[in-house]
């Protein structure tokens, strides 16, 4: 998928995020964006996203810019989103800085010229249908008949579906099918005698254009689905790497070997599951107090049994919401 420039890629990424449940999605100004191109919210978490449209793997610089930019905009998570992949060094730095890497993201696009062209055709056919209906009523030309009224109905309905259902696959297919039916009906109605034989094939044009656009929408849907799968996979890996990064800190604080087991997202942030030889509620409480004193986010250590506990990581602004849910 080719884009004219990085600015267009940023807007396509923003539109893609809106379709995946992100809200309050906004593109930052081109100048002075501080390394963040898109800001979005999901499940109470604020994302600062840098979009990179590259022909080669993205390096350290993008990770550093996303990290500093996310801090500038007070985001809970920093993300680098690219159509390509990342270098090994960029992945290592992202793990250390807890920056999420979303690769192989290529939101589909359609050209504005194509949209304007087909809308112009649809509008002309809409006017032609209305004019033909009015002519039958006022001038009795062509002669009013069930077949001619059906032609008018199909022309108007197909045009309206094509114009207002432009972004919907099913409506594009329906509009194209109606235009195809209209073409064959015109061959057997009075219009075939009125219109030159060279003009009739023109009525096939909207059917071809709408069918082509329906194929584009289907491919875009598949591409977006693949992109979301890749994004989800990258986020899962990022959360796992974050959970593993806390292992050393937890082992030192609890004075015992801690093993990372799993991670999952919650409405308030993330929670990580760990294994330990012996889990003391007192030691967990002391370490929790120290972590909240010295670290940026809010943390809660929850004892499950003698050998397992949860580490809840809660962005500062979501702390009240998580406390109330408890």
CATH number of 6-102: 3.40.1350.10
pLDDT of the residue at 136 = 87
pLDDT of the residue at 324 = 46
Domain positions in the chain are 6-102, 112-220, 255-325
pLDDT of the residue at 232 = 58
Cβ atoms of 162 and 129 within 8 Å: the answer is: no
Cβ atoms of 271 and 311 within 8 Å: the answer is: yes
Question: How far apart, in whole angstroms, are the C-alpha atoms of residue 39 and residue 248?
Answer: 32
Alpha-carbon torsion, ordered 228, 80, 168, 117, to 10 deg: -140
Kindly report, residue by residue over 73-114, the tens digit of the pLDDT.
999 899 999 988 999 999 999 988 989 999 888 765 545 567
Q: What are the backbone angles phi and psi of residue 4, rounded to the nearest 5°?
A: -70, -40
> By C-alpha distance, which of 33, 47, 37 is closest to 6?
37
In this prediction, the residues of the chain whose per-residue pLDDT falls under 50 are 1-2, 4, 110, 318-326
């Amino acid at each position: 998928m080719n884009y004219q420039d990085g600015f267009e890629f940023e807007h396509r990424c923003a539109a893609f995020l809106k379709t995946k449940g992100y809200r309050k999605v906004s593109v930052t100004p081109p100048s002075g964006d501080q390394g963040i191109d898109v800001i979005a919210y999901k499940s109470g978490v604020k994302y600062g996203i840098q979009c990179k449209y590259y022909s080669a793997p993205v390096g350290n610089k993008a990770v550093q810019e996303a990290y500093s930019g996310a801090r500038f905009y007070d985001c809970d998570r920093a993300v680098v989103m690219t159509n390509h992949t990342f270098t090994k060094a960029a992945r290592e730095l992202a793990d250390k800085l807890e920056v999420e890497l979303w690769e192989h993201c290529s939101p589909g696009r359609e050209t504005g010229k194509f949209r304007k062209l087909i809308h112009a055709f649809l509008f002309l056919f809409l006017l032609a249908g209305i004019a033909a209906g009015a002519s039958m009523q006022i001038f009795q030309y062509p002669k009013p008949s069930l077949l001619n009224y059906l032609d008018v109905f199909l022309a108007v309905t197909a045009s309206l579906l094509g114009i207002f259902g432009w972004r919907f696959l099913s409506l594009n297919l329906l509009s194209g099918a109606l235009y195809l039916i209209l073409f064959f009906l015109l061959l057997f109605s009075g219009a075939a005698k009125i219109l030159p034989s060279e003009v009739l094939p023109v009525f096939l044009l909207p059917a071809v254009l709408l069918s082509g656009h329906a194929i584009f929408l289907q491919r875009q849907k598949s591409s977006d689905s693949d992109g979301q799968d890749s994004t989800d996979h990258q986020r899962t890996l990022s959360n796992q790497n974050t959970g593993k990064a806390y292992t050393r800190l937890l082992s030192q604080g609890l004075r015992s070997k801690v093993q990372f087991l799993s991670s999952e997202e919650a409405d308030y942030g993330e929670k990580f599951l760990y294994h330990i030889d012996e889990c003391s509620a007192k030691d967990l409480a002391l370490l929790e107090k120290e972590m909240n004193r010295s670290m940026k986010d809010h943390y809660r250590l929850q004892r499950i049994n003698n050998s397992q506990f949860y580490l809840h990581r809660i962005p500062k602004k979501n702390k009240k919401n998580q406390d109330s849910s408890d």
